[in-house]
Each structure stands twice: as C-alpha cells, then as structure tokens.
Structure 1
Amino acid sequence: MTDNAVNQYQETPVNNPNIESYGHFTGSTRLDLTSDPVALTASLVDIYSESQQEKVIADALEPALRELEGVEVTRRGNTLVARTNRGLGDRVILCGHIDTVPPAENLPSRIGVDERTGEETLFGLGSVDMKSGAACYIHAFATLANSDALTRDLTLVLYECEEIATRYNGLHKLVKSDPDLLEGSLALLGEPSNAQIEAGCQGTLRIKVIAHGQRAHSARAWLGDNALHKLSRVMVRVADYEPRCVNIDGLVYREGLNFVVAESGVATNTIPDEAWAFVNFRFAPNRSVEAALDHTFQVLGVGTPDNPAEGFTLEIDDTAAGALPGLDRPAAAALVKATGGNVGPKFGWTDVACFSQLNIPAVNFGSGDPGLAHTKNERCPIDQIKTVSEQLLDYLTH
C-alpha cells in the first residue's frame, strides 16, 4: 500500500473501549462460523457494532477466519478480507458491512413470531441491515473454504463504516488501497433484498438550484423580482419531465427526476429575493455521472454551474455512479439459475457501485425487507435467512 493508503485507515476514529456486547456474546466467546446461519445471525446481532465501533466484532471474526486452513486473511482497520486460493477459475466476492446504525432499544436479539405475518422471526438491530446477510456469507465461506464441493474461489469482505460518511467506508477504502484483494468474476452484496437478487444499482446525483431576485413589499410587487416565480418555472419543467424506463440484461430500471427539498420567502407580505431547491436524479446504470449531469442541466434549462443563466446559481451537491447488473456474465447467470430466476433491478444506490469501478458485475442478495432497516422494530423472517443460505451454498457448489 502507498503511504496515503495507510493513512486513510489511521484516520478512522478510535473505537469506544467502554462498549460491551449484548446478549450471550462476551469477549471470550468463540464464534463458530459454520454454525446454523440463524444462530450465527443472532450472535452477530448481539455484538454491538455501531459505525466506528466495530473493533469488538472484527476482533471476534478475525481469529475464527484465521483458523480456516489455507485461507489468506488481511485486516485493514476494522475491515477483514479472507480469500481462498485453490485455483478454481472463477472467483466470487461475498461482501457485507459489519456496522449498524445506533440502537433503538432493539438489543439483544430475540426469536419470536411476527404478529403481522405469523412467521418465525429474528428481531434485533442489524437483523435486516445487514447481519443476517453477512451471517449467510460468512457461513458459506467457512463451510466451503476447504470443501471438495466448492466450484469457485471465494473472497469474503466484511467491512466497517457503511452507515456513515463515505470517507469512512471500509469498502471504498479497499478500492483505493488494495484493489487486488477485490479481484473477481462476480460480487454479491448482502444488503436486504427479501431473499431475491436485485442486480446492479441506479446512480444518483443531487443539484442545488438557486434563483435570485429582488425583495419588495408584496403590495408593490412590481418594484421587486420574485425569485420563487423564477424557480417555479424550473420546477414545472421537472414536473413535466417523462423519465426513461431502460432495459438492461432483461431488467427494467426506472429513472426519476424530482425536486426533493425547497425553501423560499422571509414573510407573507414580502416578495422573496431568493429561492432554492434540490433536484435529485436517479439514473439507470448505463448512464455515466457526466452524462447524467449533462442531461439534468439540459432539462433544468438554466445553464450549468460554470455558465448559469442570468439570475440563477447551480451547485453540484452529490454524485454517485450506478452499477451495471452484468447478468450476461457466466458467473452471474449461474447465480440467477441457482435462485430460481427470481431477480429484479435495484432502484436505490448501494455499494455494489464500488465494484462497477473495478469492472466487476455485482448484485444485491440478502435476507430481510429493506423497508425495515434502521427501524426500532427491525426484524428478519427466519425462512428468508435459510433461503439465502441454501441458495448461496447451491450456487457455490454447482
């Protein structure tokens, strides 16, 4: 690694030494990575691992991974990478984050019946996002690392700080510091997807549009210049915009251009001299960020940040490229077959986009309803954990 690559791990904030694990896990407990994925999920949930507090869970996982014969383990900060090197041709990357959002009185884990569905369910922080997906991936890696049934070499990536600012994200850091550790034919990300494949992800960008005017009393509006009226004309263009539906590898991605936040006005009897709003464009993964920006500026019709129309300012607030599904690749096609062809597009943005930068097709495949992520009553059906685990094992052995 370069000096800059080393420094990026040193910048990660120090973990809180006062945080203790919940439930049945203690610092001396050994994790059995080949145990039932449901039990392993519960064990992981019971290890407190809020973003920037992943040392305890990384310390628990690292020795268990190092015990696996013939497995190469690398640690960067609180991010772990384990690799088999059996010369099996294809290499599949199993990737999941080990951090969670802050707890909301939802630790330790418990197993019970979901009153809404009647399903046996595992409740607890991270059960959906994404310790159940991580448990399935860890279990598959540990079970198959030295099995004669394994048909593809494996890379397991368990990374820190997904839930906070990108500059702390362990996977993003690996892309910069150790891209060789992320080489593979296909990447699977264990984000919740209701136990079906969600392929690729859409890109996203956000632009702040600011209209400038001149303040005046509303009784003498002709003496002013209404900034809100200027901005409203841009809003009408966006409201009338017809987004594309784009078919990629048989999956239909639905683009969307929307104003999402707006503000203007100082008083109910005053012509506003400024109005601003954020516009968000969710774009299909076959558009580059540059092409998406150009398209958005064209629709807005008030110039670009470097050359805005008179009375306007434009600021690029955020951009993130999408990820192509790559379902035409042999490794991806085999996964679709193993899961019964149950596949759909990912409309949101996830870390699969990191692999797109490396020209590696990537899919989301994990247990749990993403709508329950980050909620106080976070919970995952046990049948979904079992389904993901069984289908993953089937894929990796055929």
Structure 2
Amino acid sequence: MNLESLLGSADELLAIASTADRPDERRRALDYVLDFVGPGFTVERFEAGGSPSALLYAGGGGGARPEFRVIFNAHLDVVPGDPGQFAPRRDGDRLYARGAQDMKVSALVLARVFAELAPVLPYPIGLQLVTDEEVGGHHGTRHQLDQGVTGRFVVIGEYSALRVVTESKGLVNLRLHAKGRAGHSAYPWLGDNALVTLNRTLNAVLDAYPVPDGEVWRTTVNVARIETPNEAYNQIPARATAWLDVRYPPEDADLPGRTPAQIAKHFASFCVPGTTVEIGAVAPPHRADPESAEVSALQRAARAEGHSGDFLRKHGAADARFYYQDGIDAVIFGVGGDGQHGPDEYVDVRTIEPYYRALTRFLRDLPAGPRPDH
C-alpha cells in the first residue's frame, strides 16, 4: 500500500460532508469508496429509510450470495461539524478532519485490503459499506442482515488503535414525565410543582446509577435535558420532562434481554408518584468470544506490527450489536487517533500502515475450514 496515495484519497473522502441531513453527500461518499475499490467485484446495492449501502464480494456472477468467512464493515457517514472540519489538514503525524478517526480512513484501508485479497483468498470475504451508523444503523447494517447477508466473523473499522473490541455497551433512551398542578408561585401550597416531583425521581435514579469519577465498566445514566412548557416566573409548572441516556454492559443484571415494557417497569421503580416512564430507543450490548480463533488471529496480527492487540471495551454503541443479535461474532478493530465527534478529531497517520499490514496478515493466516460445529 502506498501511504501517500491513500492519504490523498482520504483527503477527498474526508471533504465530503456525509452527515445525516445530507443524503446526496452520503451517497457521494459511498460512490467514492466503490470507485476506490475498483471494478471486478459483485456490488449489491441496498437502500432503506433514504440511506444507501452496498455489499461487495468477489465472484457472484448471478449465483447465490455466499456466507462470508469474514465481513469488513465500514460506515461512511459522520456527525455534523464546522465547515473547516471538512477541509482536511496535516500537522505532523496527525490528519485532522471530521471522520478522520471515526472512521473514513479505516474504511479506505478496509477497502484496499479487500480489493487486494478478496480475489485470491481460499474463502469468501465481503465489504459492507453503510451510511447511517451515526444515527442508529437500522437502515444500513441491520437492513442488510435482514436481507440475508451473513458471515462467520466481522471486523468493524471503528477506531481502536489496533486493539480488539470484543464488548460494547447497549443503550436505552427514555423520558421521565412528571405531572403536577399549576398555580400562582406566590401560593405554592395551592399547586403541585412538576419540576420538584421530577427532581425527586431523578435523584432516585442517580442514587442507583451515580455519575462515576472516572472510566468504569458499569451502567451509567446521563441526564441529557430537563424541560417544562412553563414560561413564567410566577407560575407553578404543571408538567416537566427529563431525557435520560442509559449505557449498560452485557453483565448488567437488569437491562440486557429485556423488552421495552420491562425496562420501563425497572425505571418506574425509581419514580415518585406523579412520574411516568416513556421508552425511546433500545439497543442491545455486544459481545464476541474473546477466545475464538478469529480474535486470536487478529491479536497475533496486531502484535506482529508492534501493537498490543489488547482487549478494549467500548462505552458507546456500534453496529456490532446487530451481528450479536444474529449470533455472529463481531469485533471493532481500527486505526488510532483521538477527538471523535469533537472539534479536533484526527487520525494518527503512524497507525495506518500497521493497520493495513495487520488486516492483511489476519486474512492470510485465518483458517478457511468449516464452522467448528460442522
């Protein structure tokens, strides 16, 4: 791989503002990577909810889509940023741009390795390109799986600095609604303040899930918003709402595998009278077998490049959860960098070539045999 050539392509891809509110730019990013891969592959295109995606593999020719020994998964959408973040710039070993770390550079490396090895490997691999991961992934990865795409092992190129992510947290978005009774604030005994009721419930939730002082692998709750339609100082608010973002690991005793109704019942146990729970998005956690042959091969490949290959846990949700739901092991393995979703996001250029070589070694060394249970 020619690093400078790849960085030139990265500059062009990073300049595409492929955010959720710009469907044409997301489609342009997808077409760019398809052109980057080049001809000679079967390209299946998908679209759901206005989000295009694609699946590439060698062969095909009108025959049945194979079960892939390995799938490379990459998302090409990014979160919004200032206009200047879509003008990539180099500063020493750092390439700054929105999507540099998360995860357009990894996507190009995955695409390059796929293009070079898919035609010559003794087993089928797929390259899955999606454009909606940052807004949930349901119309990209989840949609493709629902259309029958399947494999034995998945490498998702989210950033990891060549460490291997075998666990990531699930999420719950919920709202707490409190009702009270309006009245004149000069006579508080005549009303029932919904904000006070809501605050009591929030205190109970945060007593059960206190904000940690540092990184910890347990369930956390973020109070993202508190609001009331009240617009006057001298009025007792009759309604109030709080938004909560909950992140939970696979080991949590209360949330994994529960239905939205069961999750609502769990959080209702913290509610004081006058407060109700409304469940929004629910996404399961993800876990892959840390002792599998594929994970071991990926670790060996990373270590051969001078990186630790250590296990890393992700506190954020990723598309790996969709594979986990379908009984497919998926890991996150990507380049290094920092500043994800922030104003100074960058990729560590020094990790790009080791990442390329580790992926190449991983695919070449991976046994092509049948599933262990066959």
- Normalising to structure 1: TM-score of the pair? 0.73
The residue that corresponds to 1:189 in the other structure is 156
What pairs with 1:152-191 in structure 2 (closer than 5 Å)?
A: 153-164=124-135, 169-176=139-146, 178-179=147-148, 181=149, 183-191=150-158
Is the 2:16–2:86 contact (alpha carbons within 8 Å) kept by the matching residues of 1? Answer: no
- Alignment CA distance shift 1:386-1:76 (3 Å): same
Q: 2:31 aligns with which of 48, 51, 59?
A: 59
Is the 2:268–2:276 contact (alpha carbons within 8 Å) kept by the matching residues of 1? Answer: no
- CA shift for structure 1 position 72: 3.0
Please tell me whether residue 283 in structure 1 is matched to residue 248 in structure 2.
yes
Q: Deviations over 1:14-60 (max 9, x none)?
A: xxxxxxxxxxxxxxxxxx99985444433433556444123434434
* SS of residue matched to 2:54: strand
- Alignment CA distance shift 1:337-1:165 (3 Å): closer
- Alignment CA distance shift 1:326-1:152 (3 Å): farther
* SS of residue matched to 1:253: coil
Whichever residue aligns with residue 90 of structure 2, its letter is I
The residue that corresponds to 1:41 in the other structure is 10
Please tell me whether residue 229 in structure 1 is matched to residue 196 in structure 2.
yes
The residue that corresponds to 1:259 in the other structure is 223
- CA shift for structure 1 position 90: 7.1
Is the 1:213–1:227 contact (alpha carbons within 8 Å) kept by the matching residues of 2? Answer: yes
- Long gaps (5+) in structure 2: 61-65, 303-307, 366-374
- Alignment CA distance shift 1:139-1:295 (3 Å): same
Is the 1:367–1:388 contact (alpha carbons within 8 Å) kept by the matching residues of 2? Answer: yes
The residue that corresponds to 1:369 in the other structure is 337
- Long gaps (5+) in structure 1: 1-31, 114-119, 246-251, 304-308
Distance 1:322 1:301 in 2: 23
Distance 2:246 2:294 in 1: 31
- Alignment CA distance shift 1:191-1:272 (3 Å): same
Distance 1:171 1:33 in 2: 30
Q: 2:319 aligns with which of 351, 370, 381?
A: 351
The residue that corresponds to 1:341 in the other structure is 309
Counting aligned pairs with the same residue, the percent is 26
- CA shift for structure 1 position 279: 2.5
- Alignment CA distance shift 1:258-1:162 (3 Å): closer
- Alignment CA distance shift 1:60-1:212 (3 Å): closer
- Alignment CA distance shift 1:233-1:310 (3 Å): closer
Please tell me whether residue 92 in structure 1 is matched to residue 70 in structure 2.
yes
Distance 2:322 2:311 in 1: 21
CA-based RMSD:
3.4
Is the 1:93–1:157 contact (alpha carbons within 8 Å) kept by the matching residues of 2? Answer: yes
Distance 2:76 2:188 in 1: 57
The residue that corresponds to 2:178 in the other structure is 211
The residue that corresponds to 1:6 in the other structure is none
The residue that corresponds to 1:135 in the other structure is 108
The residue that corresponds to 1:83 in the other structure is 57
The alignment covers a number of residue pairs equal to 340
Distance 2:240 2:33 in 1: 51
Please tell me whether residue 297 in structure 1 is matched to residue 276 in structure 2.
no
Whichever residue aligns with residue 10 of structure 2, its letter is T
Whichever residue aligns with residue 39 of structure 2, its letter is E
- CA shift for structure 1 position 299: 4.6
* SS of residue matched to 1:254: coil
